[in-house]
Structure 1
Amino acid sequence: MRKILAAIFITAGLAAMSVPLFYHFYGNQKTNELMEQFEQNVEQERIEDDEKEEERERENETEAEDTEASISEADAALFSSGNVIGLIEIEALDLKYPIVEGADSKQLAYGIGHISDTAAVGSMGNCVLAGHRGSRYGTYFKYLNRLSEGDTVKVMDKAGNVYLYEVVSWEVVGPYDNSVKAQGEETELTLLTCENSGTMRLIYHCIYKEGE
């Protein structure tokens, strides 16, 4: 009887240990699928752009306009509201995740969220990106506090344009401090995540350096 009970306890323990591993594996798989889809779409966009340029050189203006108007249903679905709109990469943290539009729990489950009422990536103003401080699905912004002044944050938009930002400062603010979303005339990037068990917010401020 004791051997049976011991076997039951061991089996239950192994099952409990496997649950977080399953979630982490599943989250990484979904994140990688999103990034792969995004990168494939960007490459396809570039190919289509090249083809359109060649077509414009060979044909008249009307034919070129017809070519430019074509867009696949897959592209439209991929970049619809809530889907991938870009990629963020921070070499100093070995971090690379898709950027999705919106920052509710559904969006943040598999990527970094763009706060909808802030500037778009690469645009003049303050683009705010939010991420979990780690979750069962991935690390996300768990190690954001390891960033240092001068570190580079690379962001790609859905057109394949790459923007480089430099970390200039960081601070901890209250959870309802909307000043982090303030817009100005500079091209800025703000990274936001939880701090102190979710009671505060860790904010990193970055300024635009250049595009690739």
Structure 2
Amino acid sequence: MRDKFRKICMIAGAALIFAALCLCLYNISEDRTAEKRSQASLSELRSLIGKKPSAEQASTDTSAENDLFAEYEEPTEAEMPTIVIDNTGYCGYLRISELGLELPVINDFSYDALDIAPCRYSGSAETDDLVIAAHNFSSHFGRLDRLSDGSEIIFFDCGGNAYQYHIISIEEINGGAPGEMLSKDNSQWDLTLFTCTLSGKSRITVRAKRS
């Protein structure tokens, strides 16, 4: 009986290890795919910025009922110039030198779009209330918690303008409080970047001030 129980435990343990390995490999694959897609878009976006931006906006699906970001889905009110690449509208790109990241930013927030690149969740660089969300892929926002206070972030919009920021705080916000992401009249920050924690219950949130 003991030998039989031991064998069952060994088989169950091996199955769990195999499942964990498969999940790990899947996550790595998703990360690499996202990196390739975002960098391809970035290359084209950089070559097009400075030319006349398209007024066309990409249509995206916002029906992600089971997504960890679902409660955050709401239309953005501010307008920004965009450039359309492969039917997706981009409002610019981010440079985070401390992490060695340069990423395109999709203008309209949706779950499907987050698989490609970070998305503008709300606001505008011009009105100092820009909020950008991304998945926690290591090639996207997965290393936000490694940033240091005072580090520089630059956002380049599709009109050819560069907005420089320095980080003033990094915090973890409850996932059930999406309103905390938005800038208010008395907010000390002008830019917010956020992503899910590994558990999906909270959001790593970076606040930055215009330099």
Q: TM-score, normalised by structure 2?
A: 0.66
1:35 is aligned with what amino acid?
A: L
CA distance in 2, matches of 1:101, 1:79: 11
Deviations 1:3-40 (A, max 9, x none): xxxxxxxxxxxxx7986665444333221221112111
Contact 2:130–2:191 (CA<8 Å) still a contact in 1? yes
CA shift, 1:139, in A, is: 2.1
Matched, 1:200 2:202: yes
- Decide which of 29, 35, 39 is 1:32's aligned counterpart: 39
CA distance in 2, matches of 1:205, 1:25: 27
Matches within 5 A, 1:37-186: 37-45=44-52, 78=84, 82-115=88-121, 118-121=122-125, 123-134=126-137, 139-177=139-177, 178-184=179-185
Residue 187 and residue 196 in structure 1: after superposition, are their counterparts in 2 closer, same or farther (change >3 A)?
closer
Which structure has greater helix proportion?
1
Runs of at least 5 residues in structure 1 that lack an aligned partner in the other structure: 1-15, 47-70
Residue 126 and residue 80 in structure 1: after superposition, are their counterparts in 2 closer, same or farther (change >3 A)?
farther
CA distance in 1, matches of 2:173, 2:83: 37
2:200 is aligned with what amino acid?
A: G
Runs of at least 5 residues in structure 2 that lack an aligned partner in the other structure: 1-21, 57-80
Contact 2:50–2:158 (CA<8 Å) still a contact in 1? no
Q: TM-score, normalised by structure 1?
A: 0.66
CA distance in 1, matches of 2:28, 2:148: 30
Residue 146 and residue 21 in structure 1: after superposition, are their counterparts in 2 closer, same or farther (change >3 A)?
closer
Aligned residues: 163
Residue 119 and residue 23 in structure 1: after superposition, are their counterparts in 2 closer, same or farther (change >3 A)?
closer
Residue 193 and residue 72 in structure 1: after superposition, are their counterparts in 2 closer, same or farther (change >3 A)?
closer
Please give the secondary structure, in 2, of the residue aligned with 1:133: coil
Contact 1:129–1:190 (CA<8 Å) still a contact in 2? yes
2:180 is aligned with what amino acid?
A: S
CA distance in 1, matches of 2:28, 2:172: 31
User: Whose radius of gyration is greater, 1 or 2?
Assistant: 1
Please give the secondary structure, in 1, of the residue aligned with 2:176: coil
Could you tell me the percent identity over the aligned residues?
A: 19
Contact 2:45–2:83 (CA<8 Å) still a contact in 1? no
Give the equivalent residue in structure 2 for 1:50: none
Give the equivalent residue in structure 1 for 2:18: none
1:93 is aligned with what amino acid?
A: L
Contact 1:124–1:187 (CA<8 Å) still a contact in 2? no
CA distance in 1, matches of 2:87, 2:185: 25
CA shift, 1:144, in A, is: 0.4
CA shift, 1:102, in A, is: 2.7
Contact 2:83–2:91 (CA<8 Å) still a contact in 1? no
Please give the secondary structure, in 2, of the residue aligned with 1:149: coil
Residue 72 and residue 200 in structure 1: after superposition, are their counterparts in 2 closer, same or farther (change >3 A)?
closer
CA distance in 2, matches of 1:82, 1:204: 26
CA distance in 2, matches of 1:196, 1:22: 17
